Structure 1
Amino acid sequence: MPDHQDADEPGVLRLGRRSFGPAEFALMAIVNRTPDSFFDRGATFATEAAYEAIDRAVADGADLVDIGGVKAGYGEPVSEDEELRRTVDFVAGIRERHPDLVISVDTYRSGVARRVGAAGADLINDTWAGADPDIPAAAAEYGTGLVCSHVGGLTPRTDPHRMAYDDVVADVIRTTTALAERAVAAGVRPDGILIDPTHDFGKNTLQSLELTRRLDELAATGWPVLVAVSNKDFIGETLDLPPGQRGSGTLAALTVSAWLGARVFRVHDVPAARQALDLVAVLQGAAQPAGTRRSLA
């Protein structure tokens, strides 16, 4: 965020009660309130199961949780009323159980963004790139942060088909930074904005791989970068593996993304991701090893 940083603390990301410095990796756990998630197949659709998943994620080292009330891809239609039913009271319950936890809600509807903001959400994860143009105003109204994403012009809940870009990375940078500037103009706090290349959304596997290997170009914009690569199809197609067997590929993509400058990581497997990111932080010199006794005693 080149033109918007606090001069005293450049690059700090502030979400809810938490602040994350430019050398600090933040881990976002996925908790879907949907019966048809591509990965967990509804494992956290029931309220108590979802609360238990939140508690585990916090214990395992998650800094944020991302709550989704609508499956991203094809599936049964979900009305706004139903999305509200799945998310609003749940967000309020999380806030009561975990006062300091950063709560993100994955929604493309400004009406939902307002209601979850009032219930205690700290971040609106708009994975559909401003399909509802009122999303920035909704985030600004309740002081929440905002994720600005790239989907290549797709409408919500549609899959890519023969997507073509002269340069996919340039297109992602142009779109996400424009959305970030629009959010600032609408009153969203600059230190609460992230950009997300949005792997697989509006992209084929080769394009998602290109984004991953050139992620440093997104980081160079100055806006904090969120990556959501966990168990996604570009990993599955690359390794010829179904969703339940993409864990190692996910960790590889997370590690590369962290090394190239990503700062927030949306994941299914919190403990494995935490260990991988902690090691990257040590390798980059931003943290110290937990112990260094070997050959020193």
Structure 2
Amino acid sequence: MMQDVEVAFGPRRFRWGKRTYVMGVLNVTRDSFSDGGRYFDPDRARARARQIVEEGADILDVGAESARLAAEKLAPDEEIDRLAPLVEWVARHLDVAISVDTYKAPVAEAALRAGAHIVNDISGLHADPAMAPVVARHGAGVVLMHLQGTARRPAEHPAYRDVVEEVLAYLRQACVRARQAGIDPSRILVDPGIGVGKLTEHNLALLRAVPEIKRLGHPVLVGHSRTSVIGNLIEAPIGERLEGTLGATAALVALGADVVRVHDVGANVRAARVADAILRGWQPPWEDWSFDAVTGEQRRPLHTLRELAARD
């Protein structure tokens, strides 16, 4: 693993191993499993993008096609029409790294030209042979996710002899393909694909295996938010999985995950921040920090107290 390697994605800099970063999900779909089309309207999508950044996301991940089995599958032109204007707006107005969730090279090309910095490919470069050259040509980052089945139809009845070893082999092959295409190794992230083409026991094994996945030598991104494994463990529908997601986020920080991909951004940012402070250490804040270090209560910033004293 490239500890202390620093890489820039757009306006943000990332130092892998320093802390766990947060990727906020924004689906501009009619049929996402998590929000059911809430942000399909462009105005709502822009407002949600701003909210995600204000809540502390380091990366904004925008997608126009859901991975769930029953979701509509778009032609590249339609996907571009949904994504490109939003990506262009975000690049102009918000201070955030932009990821685009697509497995189609023409869509990735359009999104990168519009201002995206990372391509999040759920097929791990398996779906479209033109994808890796597109990413390399733009000097972009890439997230390589494991998928059993195909991008248009993930496995309905997943089966593995050894899920960890098979996922590692798939990701290893994807990393080789990315590097051979000329993608900078420091800009490659790997994702075990939690909740996609896997049963609950498979997902749990992969979550526990984050330290092994890190041995591939690339930052590990985990998209566990609101997934089936969370729902099954706490016996809750999609809209009631926040506590389970937060529990997994804290555990993933402890296991060394570099990025967590989540829907409830603010809550997960706070959970990751606390877990990071406990596990990796904490630096005292700037001198005009507005919270009391003993009581945890908000107080007037030091610079405000100095201004008041100067007036007196």
Could you say whether these structures have the same fold, taking a TM-score greater than 0.5 normalized by the shorter chain as the test?
yes
Aligned to 2:309: none
1:160–1:204 contact (8 Å) kept in structure 2: no
Q: Which amino acid aligns with 1:146?
A: V
- Give runs of aligned pairs for residues 140-159 of structure 1, distance below 5 A: 140-152=136-148, 154-159=149-154
Structure 1: 5+ residue runs without aligned partners?
none
Selected match of 2:258 from 258, 263, 274: 263
Q: What SS does the corresponding residue of 2:119 show, helix, strand or coil? A: strand
**Take 2:103 and 2:280, find their aligned partners in 1: how far apart are those partners?**
37
Aligned to 2:92: 96
Selected match of 1:274 from 265, 269, 272: 269
- Give runs of aligned pairs for residues 1-297 of structure 1, distance below 5 A: 10-21=4-15, 22-73=17-68, 74-98=70-94, 100-130=95-125, 131-152=127-148, 154-288=149-283, 292-294=293-295
**Take 2:71 and 2:214, find their aligned partners in 1: how far apart are those partners?**
33
> Offset of 1:292 from its aligned partner?
3.3
Cα distance per residue 1:39-94 (max 9 Å; x no partner) = 11111111110111111111111111000011111222321111010001111111
Q: Which has the larger radius of gyration?
A: 2
Structure 2: 5+ residue runs without aligned partners?
286-291, 297-312
> Offset of 1:157 from its aligned partner?
3.0
1:149–1:198 contact (8 Å) kept in structure 2: yes
Instruction: Give structure 1 regions of 4+ aligned residues with deviation exceeding 6 angstroms.
Output: none
2:76–2:107 contact (8 Å) kept in structure 1: yes
**Take 2:7 and 2:245, find their aligned partners in 1: how far apart are those partners?**
24
Q: What SS does the corresponding residue of 1:38 show, helix, strand or coil? A: coil
1:225–1:262 contact (8 Å) kept in structure 2: yes
Change (3 A) 1:285 1:92: same
> Offset of 1:161 from its aligned partner?
3.0
Q: How many pairs align?
A: 287
Q: What SS does the corresponding residue of 1:77 show, helix, strand or coil? A: coil
Kindly, what percent of the aligned residue pairs are identical? 35
> Offset of 1:172 from its aligned partner?
1.4
> Offset of 1:257 from its aligned partner?
1.2
Q: What SS does the corresponding residue of 1:90 show, helix, strand or coil? A: helix
TM-score normalised to the size of structure 1? 0.91
Cα distance per residue 1:142-170 (max 9 Å; x no partner) = 11100111112x11132423322222111
TM-score normalised to the size of structure 2? 0.87
